[in-house]
Amino acid sequence: MASVPTTVPFEAEPIAGRRGGAPPCHGNDGGEGGPFEYGSAAFAQRLRRARLGMFVALSAIAMIFVSFTSAYLVRQGLPTIDPSTATLVHDWLPVRLPPLFLLNTLVLVVSGFTMELARRQTAREAAGTIAASEAPALRTSRSQISWLALTIALGLAFLAGQVVAWRELAATGFYLATSPSSSFVYLLTGMHGIHLLGAVLVLLFAGAAAILRKPIASQVVILDVTGWYWHFMAVLWVYVFCLMKFAR
């Protein structure tokens, strides 16, 4: 607490920019839109902001699956009255998971690697084109597209595989409402699938951006944050799978 606060005539001192000494002119520009060079201060800021936003978004998605997990565990453990005997019974019967889930897991994990490769390739392209010329690079390369395309293909393969796995489950007589355990299998895998589909759509958009020769710096940012999202989806899938398989 101040006793006699002092007021000090202030000598304005030079203010250094955040990176590289440029004045903080619109250090906080409004976000999207406007060209920015790869490697520039604006690019670093855009990338950092996008990553922060993605991290925040992943926390929200995580909470959705945290709630489903707690519902899963509660439902599994909770006894209920069997009206015909008026006694408490546990009615959780674990459902046999289609083996296809395991193959799909592999597909998704591999796609994580291809996603990484796509991301790094784009970053290298962007760095390469800076070195190659003064002007912002707008071209793209063939090998970059193919990693991205492969990731999209693997993502779609995973989703198709999930649909087939559901068909297998239904063929054994387990539908969404058949039993509590089957309800959760469809619920958990379905919610995960919807979120992954969203990521696939974003990758398609990124692919379109590459083909249409949009600024490479934006492509780098998009692939970077989608990469994080993709890895989260893979980890989330492994988690969901382990939950269904081991918490029985």
Partner 1 sequence: MGLVILIVVWLITFISAYFFLAKTWWLPVGASAAAAGIDHHFSTTYILMGAVFIAAQVALGFLAWKFRERGTASTAAHYSHGNNKLEIIWTLLTAVLFIGLNLASGSIWASERFRPAVSNATQVEVTGMQFAWYFRYPGPDGKFGATKPELIDPSIGGEGALGLDTTDAASKDDVVSGVMYVPVNREVEVILRAHDVIHSFFIPNMRFKQDAVPGLAIHMHFTPIATGDYELTCAELCGLGHYKMNGMLKVVSQEDYEKWLAAREAEKQ
Partner 2 sequence: MATREFTAHESHAHAAPQGFIRKWVFSLDHKVIGIQYFFLALSAVLVGMLLSLLMRIHLIWPTASVPLIGEIKPETYLTLLTMHGTIMVFFVLTTAPQGGFGNYFLPIQIGAADMAFPVLNMLSFWVTALAFVVMLSAFFVTGGAPLHGWTGYPPLSALPSAGPGEALGADLWVISIALFCIGALMSALNFITTTLDMRAKGMTLMRMPLTCWAWFVTAILGLLAFGVLFSAGILLLLDRNAGTSFYVPLVVVNGQMVGHRGGSPLLWQHLFWFFGHPEVYIAILPAMGLCSQLLSVFSRKPIFGYKAMVYAILAIGLLGFMVWGHHMFMSGMSPYTAFAFSIMTMAIGVPSAIKTFNWLGTLWGGRIRFASPMLFAIGFVSLFVSGGISGPFLAQPVLDIPLHDTAFVTGHFHLIMGVASIFGIFAATYYWFPKMFGRMMNERLAQAHFWLTFVGTYCIFMPMHYAGMAGQPRRYSQFTTLHYLEKLIPLNEFISFAAFVTIAAQLIFVFNLFWSMKAGKKASDNPWEATTLEWTTATPPPHDNFGGHTPVVYNGPYEYGVPGAPKDYVMQTDPTIVAVH
Cα–Cα distance between 228 and 201 in angstroms, integer? 15
Task: Collapse the DSSP code of 78 into the 3-class scheme (helix H, G, I; strand E, B; otherwise coil) and give the result.
Answer: coil
Compute the least distance from the CB of residue 17 to partner 2, in Å.
Answer: 9
State the minimum distance, in angstroms, from the CB of residue 141 to partner 2.
28
Does the CA dihedral 126-128-130-133 come out positive or negative? negative
Cβ distance to partner 2 smaller for residue 6 or 87? 6
In angstroms, give the least distance from the CB of 106 to partner 2. Answer: 28
Query: Is residue 8 within the footprint of partner 1 (CB under 8 A)?
Result: no
Asked if residues 107 and 158 have their Cβ atoms less than 8 Å apart, the reply is yes
Distance between CA atoms of 198 and 190, rounded to whole angstroms?
12
Alpha-carbon span 168 to 191, nearest angstrom: 18
Task: Select 7 or 142, whichever has its Cβ closest to partner 2.
Answer: 7
- Segment near partner 2 (CB under 8 A); pick from 113-121, 143-151, 183-191, 217-225: 183-191
> Looking only at residues 57 through 86 of this chain, which bind partner 2 when binding is defined by CB under 8 A?
57, 59-64, 66-68, 70-71, 74-75, 78, 80-81, 83
As a whole number of angstroms, the distance between CA 86 and CA 79 comes to 12
Token code pair at residue 228: 């994080």
DSSP 105-165: HHHHHHHHHHHHHHHHHHHHHHHHHHHH-SSPP----HHHHHHHHHHHHHHHHHHHHHHHH
Spell out, one character per residue from 162 to 181, where the chain touches partner 2: x when CB under 8 A holds, - when not. --------------xx--x-
CB of 80 to partner 1, least distance (A): 5
Alpha-carbon separation of residue 62 from 93, 195, 202, 203 (angstroms): 26, 11, 19, 21
Number of residues that bind partner 2 (CB under 8 A): 54
* CB closer to partner 1 out of 20 and 83: 83
Q: Is 86 in the site for partner 1 (CB under 8 A)?
A: yes
Q: Does residue 50 sit in helix, strand or coil? A: helix
The verdict on 7 binding partner 2 (CB under 8 A) reads yes
The SS3 assignment for 88 reads: strand
Check binding of 7 to partner 1 (CB under 8 A): no
Footprint on this chain of partner 2 (rule: CB under 8 A): 1-2, 4-10, 12, 15, 23-34, 45, 48-49, 52-53, 56-57, 59-64, 66-68, 70-71, 74-75, 78, 80-81, 83, 91, 176-177, 180, 183, 187, 191
Footprint on this chain of partner 1 (rule: CB under 8 A): 1-2, 5, 80-81, 83-86
